[in-house]
Structure 1
Amino acid sequence: MKEPLCLIGSDSEGQLYVLKEAKAILEKITQPVVVVSVVGLYRTGKSYLMNRLAGQQTGFSLGNTIESKTKGIWMWCVPHPTISDHTLVLLDTEGLGDVDKGDEKHDTWIFCLAVLLSSTLVYNSLGVIDNMALEKLHYVSELTENIRVKAHMGRDENESAEFMRVFPSFIWTVRDFTLILEKENKPITADQYLESALVLKPGHTPKIEQFNLPRRCLRNYFAERKCFVFPRPTSDENLRKIEDLKEEDLDQRFLKQAEEFCSYVFSNAKPKTVTGGRTLTGTVLGSLVEVYVEAIRSGRVPCLENAVKTLAEIQNGKAVEQAMQVYINQMCNSLCLPMDPAELSDFHQQAERKAVEVFMSTSFNDAEQKAQMDLMGQIQSEYEERCHQNQKECILVCKSKLTKVFAPLEEALNEGSFMRCGGYQEYRSTVKRLTQEYRAHTDGQLMNEDVLTEYLTEKEKFAKIILAGDQRLTEAEQEKEVERLQMEVVEQRQKGLEKQNELQEQMLKDQQRTYEQHMDQLMERMEREHKRAQEDNERVLQAKLNEQRVLLEQGFQDKANQMNKEIEALKKEMKNNDDSKRSTLSKVVDTVGTAASLFLPGIIPKVLGIGASFLSRLF
């Protein structure tokens, strides 16, 4: 994208909606996406930071008046500067707290969507992080009221951990910061400055609860927190035309902080995932945006679990369709029938590998592998149809060659040239010579023996008539020749069967290779998702341990003890997840193998052994 485009707008009635043009752009992105959203009060310079992340001076509209310039959520997709084969999706949100807008609920949904869609959330504010700044961030305390991770949460489930797993990392950027980063006459980092602002007050009065609420929410729902403080970039006069300024016109301290901010985001912002470590591509992100906005428009609370199910329904049908299109295009562009079955098999393998790669990159949460089994079956049917077409083309070629080679024989039969003494031996010699010539012309050609068998079987009755009319042969010799004719027919049919057996063996190899192809890529994806889910759990566990330590240091013994229960529950859950990994993978192998055997009968005796070999690679 050369410039940003509005992704989510609002109609005349204030209802949010997704713009088709922006969604169409996302649908074309099959790479994993790193999504960075910026939120904050209007007129705080959010858009400038996003332009820096895009590597541009201009792009997201900055504005130079008291009006909020950005409306809705704007999107800018650019190649990720440090991670190959990933796309950086920047989301610039409408400024919160615009007095002209006067719609608090609208602001809440904008904030919630920024949280739901991003892998890193940047909160931008002016001045200092004090109680007033945190009170203005009251949207964070409303997150759990407006977002659900699961459709139904059990009593024993750790809600805080559930949100931590799926919520983005949090960066607080403080603009126009003029204070010295010191505490008790000792220098502190910007991160320490943020954490000191999140210290809780002891007590349970309504006023204290109001003070603690946004702080507790930030500590409980965002596992990773980072802070950057920016000095004023330039003078008031120049600030109005900051888009036109060159870097040498800006405060060098500001530029240094901006560079460190961008470097941190590029290095630490992870690809967007949902529950279970499932990484989103731009295609899936586009559908996710639509699912969330539709939920909000319908008056429902956006639910991640329901969104994942809906996305699976939307995405997996598309994934099969796109993968099949890739397979068909590859086969159509590569094939020039007739061809050798082994060569056709190689083309099939290459086309199938590309199709499965497309499926794996575009499918989503195919938990029971139903969509993948559908793809496997469709590819097999398409391949069998190509093999059938190849056979028909081979038959046409062989029949054409046979007609040309055996034309002298047909002419002699029509003229009755063999109906005389010694005619039978001449007929036999002619058939033998022309058969050798035909085989020389069709050597290695599929179906050549089948076509020859059919032809010679048809000529058997003529051979018997010629034999019966040849007075040179005795009755005993004629009987012997009849037996020989029958033996030759059997031998010729056997040659045709041998060719068919070779073809069948090739098909069985293709079926086994198909199964292995799908299992290889399925296992790779499951391993990546398991690894990412494990990383998310470890990140949450570390955040809980850090929080417990801070609570103890600040004298909140009761809350630290309560946190200990959450930590132990999380450890138990992580252990259970690791213990169930093998059984889950084993079940998947068994499910895929059983389903595949319905349309890949050749793999039935081998599925168990193949499945065991896949599992042995992972453990």
Structure 2
Amino acid sequence: MDKPVCIIDRHSDGKLCVQQSALQILEQIQQPVVVVAVVGLYRTGKSYLMNQLTGKQTGFALGSTVESKTKGIWMWCMPHPTKAETMLVLLDTEGLGDVDKGDPKHDTHIFCLAVLLSSTLVYNSRGTIDNKAVMDLQYVTELTKCIKVKSSDEEDDDSSEFVKLFPIFIWAVRDFTLDLMIDDKDVTDDEYLEFALKLKHGTSRNVVEYNFPRECIQKYFPSRKCFTFPLPTAPENMSCLESLDPADLSSEFLTVTDNFCKFVFHDSRVKKLKDGHTVTGRVLGHLAKMYVETISSGAVPCLENAVIAMAMIENEAAVKESLQVYQSGMEKLKESFPLKLKDLTSEHQHLSNTATQAFMKRSFKDTDGQYLKSLEVNISKLFDEYLCQNEQVSKRRCEDLLSSLSAPMMEKLDQGFYAKPGGYDLFCNDLQDVGKKYNNQTNKEVKAEEVLEEFLKQKSVDSKSILQADKKLTEKEKKIKEQMENAVLLKQEIKAKDEKQRQQEEIMATERRRNEEMMRQMQEKRDEEIRLLREETQRALESKLREQADLLEKGFEEKAKMMRQEIEEFKRRSAEAETNRAKELALILENSNKRHEETMALMMQHHKELIDSIPKSPPAVCCIL
């Protein structure tokens, strides 16, 4: 993208809507995304910060009047400057507090969308972090009403789960002119922020109102960072900031801006869904559309529902994409048909493993394994079709080869060459010569023996006619010759069925190896999901423990006690969630293995029927071929 585009706009009726052009851009991004969103009061310089992250002076619109310039949410996507194979998505939001909006809920919706979509949230304000600045961030206190973690209808407060899912929080204080000192001691930007978020003791209404937004910020955003930006230039130049040369800007301002950008690039995490699934540009687009539609309908966005909906969309796409991987590879292989069965099954196994790997990479929360089952069934169906097509091509090639090799013999037959004393032996010699050349040229094709068996059966009609007409042979000799010919036919029939049996065993062995590899990949997927779940829980737990310790240190014993209860409940819920997920994944493995065993049982039954149909070996007689 060489410029930003609007991703979330407002209809004339005031309802939010998603721009299809932006979704089409995100649809093309299959890499993980780091999403940085900026929010704050209008006319505080949010867009300038976003432009600095792009490395360009212009891009996101900067206003020079009291009118808010940015409307809705604008998006700019680019390769991440420090993380390989990752995209950076910047979201510049409409300024909060604009008097022209009319709808008091609009700002809350914009703020919630920024929280829901980002992995790093930048709150931009001017002046100082005083009580007014904290109270201006009232939208944080509304989050429990505007975002649900779980889909249950219960009214339970599930905001304790926010810590798992919410973005890193950066407070960017613009035009900061004070000295960073507290109690006559120099402090860092971060210490200044924590001082501003310090709670007061007491239970009066004023104290509760003072503490509430601070408690919400501390509770929902345990990862916090602060940057204080001095005035960038003289007041008279502020309206043309984007056109100023860097030399015209304060060196201190440029240093802070550079540190801000470095922190965002280095510390911003890849966006994750609940349960730890990595968000790609494509998934981000689906999330934006889903959240906006939910808000516009008057409902509350639910993170659990979002994961379920995303899982359905992504799992369906994962099956389709994985089948395409398998099918495109097999279609290329099809150009080389006919192939030996070993070559075909080997490539089938490789492509099947690759397709399963592609599915595992994209799919998530396939709770009952239905999508994996769909992939298995469809690959097996396609493999059967390719087996059949390879056999058909092999059969045609073998038939054409036999037709070509036997043409001189058939011409002799039409001319009556074998209709003379001794003609039967001449016919047998020519037939034997055709068989030898055929075996040398078919190179163990899958239908070679079966086609030869059919060919010999057809030629036995001519052979018997020639035998009966051969006056050189006595009746006894004719009878012996006929027995020898029948033995040859029986031997070829056994050989053809033996080959079919061998092919069946080879296919079964391939399916066993394929299943073993699939089970291995599933186990890896299971272990990875459990690991991500544990990491997510551990990060959240550590932040809660830090919060509890901080409360105890500052004398808030009652709040610390409540926090301890919350931590115990959090541990219980997390352990239960991990156990349930482990059971789900174990059941998927068990069901998949059961399906494989059922398939193998059917193949074994078919194999047994094939063995039973093979005639007993013919007596040891001299063979024609």
Same fold (TM over 0.5): yes
Structure 2 vs 1, CA of residues 604 and 412 (structure 1 numbering), >3 Å: closer, same or farther?
A: closer
**Residue aligning to 1:71:** 71
Where does the alignment leave 5 or more consecutive residues of structure 2 unmatched? 606-625
Counterpart in the other structure of 2:216: 217
Q: CA deviation at 1:345?
A: 3.3
Aligned mates of 2:396, 2:479 — CA distance in 1: 36
Q: Secondary structure at the match of 1:526?
A: helix
Whether the aligned pair in 2 keeps the contact of 1:148 and 1:303 (CA below 8 Å) is yes
Alignment deviations for residues 528-551 of structure 1 (CA, whole Å, 9 cap, x no partner): 332222222111111111111111
Give the deviation of 1:180 after TM superposition. Answer: 1.7
Matches within 5 A, 1:147-226: 147-152=147-152, 159-226=158-225
SS, match of residue 507 in structure 2: helix
- Partner of 1:463 in structure 2? 463
Q: What is the TM-score with the length of structure 1 in the denominator?
A: 0.92
Query: 1:189 offset after TM fit, Å?
Result: 1.6
AA aligned to 2:117 is L
8 Å CA contact 1:33–1:271 kept in 2: the answer is yes
After TM superposition, list the pairs within 5 Å mapping 1:243-322 onto structure 2: 243-322=242-321
| Residue type at the aligned position of 1:161 | S
Q: Which moved more, 1:287-296 or 1:231-240?
A: 231-240
Deviations 1:47-88 (A, max 9, x none): 122222223222211222211111111111111222222211
Q: In the alignment, does 2:35 pair up with 1:26?
A: no
Q: Secondary structure at the match of 2:105?
A: helix
Report Cα offsets for 1:12-56 as digits up to 9, x if no partner. 111101111111111111112111111111111111222222232
Rate the CA distance shift 1:600–1:28 in 2: closer, same or farther, 3 A.
farther
8 Å Cα contact 2:38-2:92 kept in structure 1: yes
Aligned-pair CA distance for 1:558: 0.8
1:446-491 C-alpha deviation (Å, 9 max, x unpaired): 3122111111111122222222222322333222222221221122
**Cα distance change, pair 424–582 in 1 and its aligned pair in 2 (3 A):** same
Amino acid of the structure 2 residue aligned with 1:339: L
Q: Distance in 1 between matches of 2:37 and 2:517?
A: 38
Which whole-Å CA distance do the structure 2 matches of 1:513 and 1:37 have between them?
A: 47
Q: Does structure 1 conserve the Cα–Cα contact (< 8 Å) formed by 2:368 and 2:584? A: no
Match of 1:560 in 2: 560
TM-score under structure 2 normalisation?
Answer: 0.91
2-structure distance, mates of 1:105, 1:491: 86
For residues 557-594 of structure 1, the C-alpha deviation after alignment (integer angstroms, 9 at most, x for no partner) is: 11111111122233344455566676454323112222
Q: Is the 8 A contact 1:424 1:466 kept in 2?
A: yes
2:343 corresponds in structure 1 to 343
Tell me if structure 2 keeps the 8 A contact 1:123–1:173. Answer: yes
Match of 1:141 in 2: 141
Q: Which residue of 2 aligns with 1:423?
A: 423
RMSD: 2.3
Change (3 A) 1:9 1:588: same
Query: 2:115 maps to what in 1?
Result: 115
Counterpart for residue 619 of structure 2: none
Q: CA deviation at 1:154?
A: 6.2
Whichever residue aligns with residue 477 of structure 1, its letter is E
Contact 1:33 1:281 in 2 (8 A): yes
Q: Matched residue pairs, number?
A: 604
2:53, 2:524 → 1: CA distance? 32
- Aligned partner of 2:227 in structure 1 is 228
Q: Distance in 2 between matches of 1:265 and 1:500?
A: 64
Distance 1:578 1:16, change over 3 A: closer
Hey, what's the Cα distance between the residues in 1 that align with 2:603 and 2:179? 71
Give how far 1:362 is off.
3.7
Q: Distance in 1 between matches of 2:349 and 2:254?
A: 52
d(CA) in 1 for partners of 2:189, 2:431 = 96
Distance 1:504 1:137, change over 3 A: same
SS of 1:345's partner is helix
CA distance in 2, matches of 1:58, 1:573: 47
- What amino acid is the match of 1:131? N
Deviation at 1:230?
A: 1.3
Matched, 1:410 2:394: no
The AA in structure 2 aligned to 1:306 is N
- The one-letter amino acid of 2:111's match is F
Of 248-257 and 326-335, deviating more is 326-335
Q: Given that residues 158 and 566 in structure 1 are in contact (C-alpha distance below 8 angstroms), is that contact kept between their aligned partners in structure 2?
A: no
Task: Provide Cα deviations, 1:472-518, integer angstroms capped at 9, x if missing partner.
Answer: 22333222222221221122122222332343233224323433444
For residues 598 and 293 of structure 1, what CA distance do their matches in structure 2 show? 45
Letter of the 1:541 counterpart: L
- Partners of 1:603 and 1:546 in 2: how far apart? 59
What code does the residue aligned with 2:275 have? G
Could you tell which deviates more after superposition, 308-317 or 219-228? 308-317
The one-letter amino acid of 2:276's match is G
Q: Which runs of 5+ in 1 are unaligned?
A: 606-619
Q: Who is 1:48 aligned against?
A: 48
- One-letter code of the match for 1:311? M
Question: Cα distance 1:307–1:216, how it changes in 2: closer, same or farther (>3 A)?
Answer: same
